[in-house]
């Protein structure tokens, strides 16, 4: 398992490449991008300020606790731009070592593991399905998904209870972080366990420990929503049906939005090789069942517009992250076949010829894999919540008198970043907090004296002390900040 100095340099080089391509969206935007990121920063700051007041609220509290811990050492808003790229490295390196462990008896083990990293990095991101460009509970869960699937399958293959218990512990930890990242795997883990039914029957008392997952899930759910366990049971059952329209944005995603065509083709070749060779088939079995089971769930959603256990958008991403290892195996098998065919010829300097063809093949695959990496449908392109001028205005607002009862009326995008930067409560944000319709109503253009009566009624309704606007509003409020289309009024 130890790497040579040369291998370490290669892995480090690939890691730098991965960091850069994941970081690129932040070259033009130094702040968190996705509204989910801003929401979790908001909750993390509130947890840090007063955990007793915030309490156990939100089904992704585990991720927010992690962010709250980080906030003791960094400024979350300013440092967040680095977290997606840094965590992408954690994911890729985790996959590298798992792949190396699985393929340890294969002469191409290092090559397979290296390209598993590369194919993983090629998985695309967008604001609908999310992805590596954003640091969210979904992306935070990825290395843990790789780990619990590995330990579960290895534990059953080797009949190693410590491995299986490790898998169980990881899944239990993930429940308060991102429960869907456990739920989606239940079908294919169950199938894998049934295939190994002899061990299941032999150790059925031990496997009853996995009932801790639904038990802990129900307990956690009842704790979050402050309802009884029985009520939690019925509520969870109903909420595990994700109908069309579940997400903030409903979009008819295609498979090519997440993964390259060459990646899919190589994954199919990898599956065909594993199945046809029958070489250590059981070792790779779970990595074939995983994408097939998730693909089945995706097809079910396409047919009946309902997804069970996990939503369609998440399943699309779980399907994508199941493919890099298979794509790498497929690619390495093609390279191996090329080498065998060259060795059968009468050509001189066979090694040199093979090396040239191998390098050309790698270059071609890399180009085809990443050529559409930044191609995103216009409906789900990246957006910018705030810019530098907005940030400076919010910093100014942070120095203004604040109270728990008072709020700030601001456009929805600015409001989404309001609390993380200024510690002032907005009237509403995009999707997650407050009544966004009232905010839209407040800022809608009106030629009749800016409709000051309606505006003041809304300000009174929400106990607003400050108004943040990108245009002048002539309603007699005191201007306390006015720079580059960022105007703050005090009321």
Q: Which letter does DSSP use for residue 25 in this model? A: G
How many alpha carbons lie under 13 Å from residue 68 in its C-beta half-sphere? 17
Give, for all 491 residues of the chain, the pLDDT tens digit.
678 889 999 999 999 999 999 999 999 999 999 999 999 999 999 888 876 555 556 778 889 999 999 999 999 999 999 999 999 999 999 999 999 999 888 888 899 999 999 999 999 998 888 899 999 999 999 999 999 999 999 999 999 999 999 999 999 999 899 989 999 999 999 999 999 888 888 888 888 888 888 887 777 777 776 777 777 777 777 777 877 766 666 667 778 888 999 999 999 999 998 888 766 778 899 999 999 999 999 999 888 878 888 888 889 999 999 999 999 999 999 998 888 888 877 777 778 888 888 899 999 999 999 998 988 887 778 888 999 999 999 999 988 888 777 789 999 999 999 999 999 999 998 887 878 888 888 888 765 556 888 888 889 888 899 999 988 888 888 899 998 889 999 98
464-469 and 407-409 beta bridge pairing: parallel
Last residue of a domain, one of 379, 399, 432: 379
Whether residue 220 lies inside any domain: the answer is: no
Burial class for 452, CB neighbours closer than 10 Å (0-12, 13-18, 19+) = middle
Whether residue 440 lies inside any domain: the answer is: yes
Domain extent for 432: 388-490
How many alpha carbons lie under 13 Å from residue 316 in its C-beta half-sphere? 22
CA proximity to 314, closest of 130, 186, 147: 130
With contact defined as beta carbons under 8 Å apart, do 301 and 290 qualify? Answer: no
Whether residue 221 lies inside any domain: the answer is: no
pLDDT at 127: 85
**Do 374 and 414 fall within a single domain?**
no
Residue 186: both structure tokens together? 């239940």
Give 487's strand partners.
469, 482
**Do 448 and 325 fall within a single domain?**
no
CA proximity to 267, closest of 308, 321, 220, 315: 321
pLDDT at 112: 93
Whether residue 463 lies inside any domain: the answer is: yes
Total count of domains within the chain:
2
**Do 435 and 481 fall within a single domain?**
yes
**Do 183 and 88 fall within a single domain?**
yes
* Cβ neighbours around 32 below 10 Å, total: 28
Last residue of a domain, one of 355, 379, 403: 379
**Do 343 and 373 fall within a single domain?**
yes
pLDDT at 47: 87
**Do 27 and 132 fall within a single domain?**
yes
**Do 414 and 369 fall within a single domain?**
no
Residue 238: both structure tokens together? 């109903």
**Do 322 and 466 fall within a single domain?**
no
**Do 193 and 44 fall within a single domain?**
yes
In whole angstroms, give the CA distance from residue 178 to residue 49: 23
Whether residue 465 lies inside any domain: the answer is: yes
SS3 assignment, position 419: helix
SS3 assignment, position 339: helix
Q: E strands, 139-248, where?
A: 241-243
In whole angstroms, give the CA distance from residue 328 to residue 295: 19
Whether residue 227 lies inside any domain: the answer is: no
Last residue of a domain, one of 379, 414, 435: 379
In whole angstroms, give the CA distance from residue 51 to residue 54: 5
Whether residue 213 lies inside any domain: the answer is: no
**Do 11 and 30 fall within a single domain?**
yes
**Do 250 and 130 fall within a single domain?**
yes
**Do 274 and 180 fall within a single domain?**
yes
pLDDT at 63: 93
Rounded to the nearest angstrom, the gap between the alpha carbon of residue 339 and the centroid of all alpha carbons in its chain is 38
Whether residue 224 lies inside any domain: the answer is: no
């Amino acid at each position: 398992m130890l790497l040579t100095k040369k291998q370490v340099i290669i892995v480090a080089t690939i890691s730098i490449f991965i960091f850069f391509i994941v970081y690129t969206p932040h070259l033009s935007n130094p702040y968190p991008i996705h509204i989910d990121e801003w929401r979790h920063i908001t909750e993390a700051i509130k947890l840090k300020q007063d955990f007793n007041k915030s309490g156990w609220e939100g089904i992704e509290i585990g991720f927010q606790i992690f962010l709250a811990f980080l906030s003791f050492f960094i400024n979350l808003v300013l440092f967040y731009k680095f977290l997606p790229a840094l965590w992408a490295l954690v994911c890729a390196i985790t996959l590298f070592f798992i792949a190396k462990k699985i393929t340890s008896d294969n002469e191409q083990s290092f090559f397979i593991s290296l390209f598993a990293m590369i194919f993983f990095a090629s998985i695309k991101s967008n604001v609908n399905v999310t992805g590596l460009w954003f640091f969210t509970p979904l992306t935070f869960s990825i290395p843990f998904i790789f780990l619990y699937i590995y330990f579960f399958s290895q534990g059953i293959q080797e009949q190693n209870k410590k491995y299986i218990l490790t898998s169980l512990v990881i899944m239990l930890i993930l429940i308060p972080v991102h429960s869907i990242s456990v739920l989606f795997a239940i079908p294919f883990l169950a199938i894998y366990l049934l295939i190994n039914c002899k061990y299941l029957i032999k150790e059925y008392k031990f496997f009853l420990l996995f009932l801790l997952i639904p038990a802990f899930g129900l307990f956690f759910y009842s704790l979050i929503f402050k309802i009884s366990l029985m009520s939690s049971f019925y509520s969870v059952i109903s909420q595990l049906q994700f109908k069309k329209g579940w997400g903030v944005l409903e979009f008819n995603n295609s498979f090519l939005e997440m993964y390259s065509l060459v990646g899919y083709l190589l994954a199919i070749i990898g599956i065909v090789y594993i199945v046809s060779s029958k070489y250590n088939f059981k070792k790779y079995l779970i990595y074939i069942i995983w994408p097939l089971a998730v693909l089945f769930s995706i097809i079910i959603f396409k047919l009946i517009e309902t997804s069970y256990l996990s939503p369609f958008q998440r399943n699309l991403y779980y399907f994508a992250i199941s493919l890099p290892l298979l794509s790498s195996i497929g690619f390495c098998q093609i390279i191996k076949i090329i080498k065998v065919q060259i060795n059968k010829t009468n050509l001189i300097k066979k090694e040199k010829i093979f090396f040239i063809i191998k390098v050309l093949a790698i270059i071609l695959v890399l180009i085809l894999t990443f050529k559409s990496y930044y191609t995103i449908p216009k409906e789900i392109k990246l957006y910018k919540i705030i810019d530098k001028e907005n940030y400076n205005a919010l910093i100014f607002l942070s120095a203004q008198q604040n109270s728990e009862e008072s709020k700030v009326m601001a456009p929805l995008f600015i409001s989404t970043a309001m609390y993380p930067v200024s510690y002032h409560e907005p009237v509403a944000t995009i999707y997650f907090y407050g009544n966004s319709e009232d905010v839209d109503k407040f800022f809608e253009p009106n030629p009749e004296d800016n409709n000051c009566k309606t505006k003041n009624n809304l300000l009174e309704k929400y106990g607003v002390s400050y108004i943040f606007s990108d245009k002048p509003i002539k309603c007699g409020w005191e201007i306390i900040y006015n720079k580059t289309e960022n105007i703050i009024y005090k009321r």
